[in-house]
Amino acid sequence: MKEVKFSLVFRDMWQSAGKYQPRVDQLVKIAPAIIRMGCWDRVETNGGGFEQVNLLYGENPNKSVREWTKPFHEAGIQTHMLDRALNGLRMSPCPADVRKLFYKVKKIQGTDITRIFCGLNDPRNVIPSIQYAHEGGMIAQASLCITHSPIHTVEYYVGLAKKFIDAGADEICLKDMAGIGRPVSLGKIVEGIKAYKKDIIIQYHSHAGPGLCVASILEVAKAGCDYIDCGMSPLSWGTGHADIIAVQEMLKDAGFKVKEINMEAYMEVRSQIQEMYDDFLGYYIPALNHINNSLLVKPGLPGGMMGSLMTDLEDNLKSLNKWKVKNKQPELTTDQLLVKLFDEVAYVWPKVGYPCLVTPFSQYVKNLALMNVMQMEKGKARWSMIADNIWDMILGKSGQLPGPVAPELVEMAKAEGREFETDDPQSHYPDKLDEFRKEMNDNGWELGQDDEELFELAMHPEQYRAYKSGKAKADFEKDLAERKAKKNAPAAAAELPKTITVSVNGQNYQVNIAYGNEAPASTASTAAAPAGEGADLLAPLEGKFYLVKDNSETPKKVGDRVSEGDILGYIEAMKTFNAIRADKAGVITAIIPSSGDSVEEDDVIMKIG
């Protein structure tokens, strides 16, 4: 009788549900109850976007990881994390020296296993991480990012697993991030890998949204899979994962040896998760993310992204409908926009070479599709707004795409002077730890135990700086307060204008408005500065305005002369930086928002005279 073991994907449960995660005090409180459940041999404690989120609400992720992993080690339960290979823990590629430090820091902090994945399944991105993980003392679990296309066959995946095993991978994960892997094919992939190396440990990870995951779990278990990732109520199913109760009962009935579940402890964990909902996390979990949806089979969008997608979609729908009302067109519902988005993802995906729809490429493809929908709804052309990091994917800077890029995009790239790359992706991102170490010394910041604070700055520069300045915590608390107020306020109040522009002695000023006991938004970046003379440069979409996207750029300032087409700044929306370009030559006479401020579509960003 074969034993199948279970892993609780606690990190991914939250990321798949919404935007934020529990605080460290909540994590430490729930750990003993998870242990008492008695059915878990592994727990996913950190990694991916999970640690970055700590910074966004002003909490140190290093402290969180150390305290959170400790009770599991003491109980003999392995901990594992999600690792984006070339990208480390973030959306964008990072230098090799930062990647090497990553594994040393996480092993010392208490994480045993790193699940390495590349959304392009490019061995050039995964294999170095296998080596770096070993150097840091971690178990290297290499992932096959599962999707369904003419390119992604059983033979393709078995061949990829062989390359990873030959390169030293300790384990293999079938990362079915969208839950669209077909059950029989997944079983054949496991069989093929076990035929190549009988004792290799295989772990299966699947999201529940499209409805295929339970059948897939049974098939991979029959083929010899060793570990199954599961979720638990109230974060199971929907965009999350199959619940441990259903999976355990199914496998037990099929004749597998599985551990029993302490149901008293299960209910305690369930209650604590609900308390976390009620505290503040529920404000960032859209109701639709609790629902399974077979429409997801067609676009193949991953469960881990659906958590944030539905939140982002609310803002995009509001922005689009504002434009439609202004132009006397009928508004769209959330469902109408969602179906248009799903259809456009299915159209765009083959055009950009079939990247597996997992972070960051799922966001890139989704963002490109959503931009196309938004632009086409306004009567503009498809492909009229493509962010630079999406271009990097198309051009091969992140790795080799599985399929060819559509001729129309190849022609666009040539017309814009963009070149396709075949070099090792890491070659585009040189070492930078010394620069970050100097920044910490200049600021008087401690490098931290085992250089963990240095690592945090190097991995998440903008978020770490906002964390250290207190801006991250202030922005989060403001956003949470607004969400609570909106939930408790009459629906009409949300539609009241928040800003107006007034003219004083011929100078224009933007003024924020507050109602009742509401405090007005900060006016430091707008009301005190005259708008200047010249033509308005408008925000092309809603998001956060930044003058630069990284340290390699020099921010524009008032008085700078610019040429048509120059990049003047960026709007960060849906985890991508969208360039704002000058639509005419001239001199910048005013910069209205401060870097990091939230802006709405068509807000005035700059004046060019």
Q: Is residue 552 part of a domain?
A: yes
Of the candidates 26, 359, 11, 7, the one whose C-alpha atom is nearest the C-alpha of residue 171 is 7
Which CATH number goes with the domain that contains 126? Answer: 3.20.20.70
Question: Percent of the chain having pLDDT more than 90?
Answer: 58
CA-CA-CA-CA torsion sign (475, 477, 481, 486): positive
For residue 168, the tally of other CB atoms under 10 A from its CB is 13
| pLDDT value for 2 | 94
Shared domain for 389 and 521, answered yes or no, is no
Shared domain for 266 and 326, answered yes or no, is no
Of the candidates 389, 301, 303, the one whose C-alpha atom is nearest the C-alpha of residue 576 is 389
Mean pLDDT of 110-124: 96
Asked which of 391, 420, 449 is the last residue of a domain, the reply is 420
Find where tokens 């939250």 sit: 14
* Least confident range of 312-316, 352-356, 536-540: 312-316
Instruction: Look at residue 521 and give its three-state secondary structure.
Output: coil
Q: Give the C-alpha separation, 61 to 124, whole Å.
A: 29
Find where tokens 């005090």 sit: 25
Residues 6+ apart with CB under 8 A from 503: 509
Mean pLDDT of 10-24: 89
Of the candidates 136, 147, 151, 220, the one whose C-alpha atom is nearest the C-alpha of residue 179 is 147
Evaluate if residue 529 carries a pLDDT over 50.
no
Q: Give the C-alpha separation, 371 to 383, whole Å.
A: 8
Rg (CA), the chain: 24
pLDDT-derived band at 524, boundaries 50, 70, 90: very low
Evaluate if residue 505 carries a pLDDT over 60.
no
Q: What is the mean pLDDT of the chain?
A: 88
Q: Give the C-alpha separation, 468 to 445, whole Å.
A: 9
Q: Is residue 313 part of a domain?
A: yes
Shared domain for 170 and 249, answered yes or no, is yes
φ and ψ at residue 499, rounded to 5 degrees: -140, 150
Instruction: Report pLDDT digits (tens) over 367-377.
Output: 899 889 988 99
Asked which of 259, 290, 321 is the last residue of a domain, the reply is 290
Cis peptide bond upstream of 360, omega within 30: yes
Q: Is residue 474 part of a domain?
A: no
pLDDT-derived band at 103, boundaries 50, 70, 90: very high
For residue 487, the tally of other CB atoms under 10 A from its CB is 9
Find where tokens 């449960």 sit: 13
Mean pLDDT of 576-598: 86
Evaluate if residue 98 carries a pLDDT over 90.
yes
Whether 302 contacts 207, CB under 8 Å: yes
pLDDT-derived band at 513, boundaries 50, 70, 90: low
Instruction: Look at residue 445 and give its three-state secondary structure.
Output: coil
Mean pLDDT of 580-604: 87
Instruction: Look at residue 20 and give its three-state secondary structure.
Output: coil
Task: Say which residue, 373 or 542, is predicted with more confidence.
Answer: 373
Shared domain for 249 and 357, answered yes or no, is no
* Least confident range of 9-13, 273-277, 595-599: 595-599
Question: Percent of the chain having pLDDT more than 70?
Answer: 90
Shared domain for 282 and 325, answered yes or no, is no
Q: Give the C-alpha separation, 361 to 340, whole Å.
A: 19
| pLDDT value for 514 | 55
Evaluate if residue 405 carries a pLDDT over 70.
yes
Shared domain for 267 and 390, answered yes or no, is no
Evaluate if residue 231 carries a pLDDT over 60.
yes
| pLDDT value for 530 | 46
Of the candidates 17, 291, 296, the one whose C-alpha atom is nearest the C-alpha of residue 181 is 296
Task: Say which residue, 55 or 196, is predicted with more confidence.
Answer: 196
Instruction: Report pLDDT digits (tens) over 64-88.
Output: 999 999 999 999 999 999 999 999 9
pLDDT-derived band at 490, boundaries 50, 70, 90: low
Q: Is residue 463 part of a domain?
A: no
Q: For helices 96-109 and 123-136, what crossing angle results, to 10°?
A: 40
Mean pLDDT of 277-286: 88
| pLDDT value for 499 | 56
- What is the token pair recorded at 129? 């991480």
Q: Is residue 469 part of a domain?
A: no
Q: Is residue 482 part of a domain?
A: no
Which CATH number goes with the domain that contains 598? Answer: 2.40.50.100
Shared domain for 522 and 598, answered yes or no, is yes
* Least confident range of 83-87, 485-489, 581-585: 485-489
Domain housing 540 = 496-608
CA-CA-CA-CA torsion sign (322, 323, 328, 334): negative
The secondary structure element, H or E, covering residue 41 is strand 40-47
Cis peptide bond upstream of 234, omega within 30: yes
| pLDDT value for 68 | 96
Mean pLDDT of 113-129: 96
Q: Is residue 42 part of a domain?
A: yes
Shared domain for 580 and 529, answered yes or no, is yes
Shared domain for 87 and 61, answered yes or no, is yes
Task: Say which residue, 351 or 52, is predicted with more confidence.
Answer: 351
Whether 599 contacts 571, CB under 8 Å: yes
Q: What pTM was computed for the model?
A: 0.80
| pLDDT value for 409 | 96
Q: Is residue 168 part of a domain?
A: yes
| pLDDT value for 501 | 55
Tell me the pairing of strands 586-591 and 561-562. Answer: antiparallel
Asked which of 290, 316, 349 is the last residue of a domain, the reply is 290
Burial of 103 (0-12, 13-18, 19+ CB in 10 A): buried
pLDDT-derived band at 496, boundaries 50, 70, 90: low
Mean pLDDT of 81-110: 95
Shared domain for 85 and 47, answered yes or no, is yes
Q: How many domains does the chain have?
A: 3
Shared domain for 245 and 315, answered yes or no, is no
Tell me the pairing of strands 201-206 and 227-230. Answer: parallel
Shared domain for 274 and 362, answered yes or no, is no
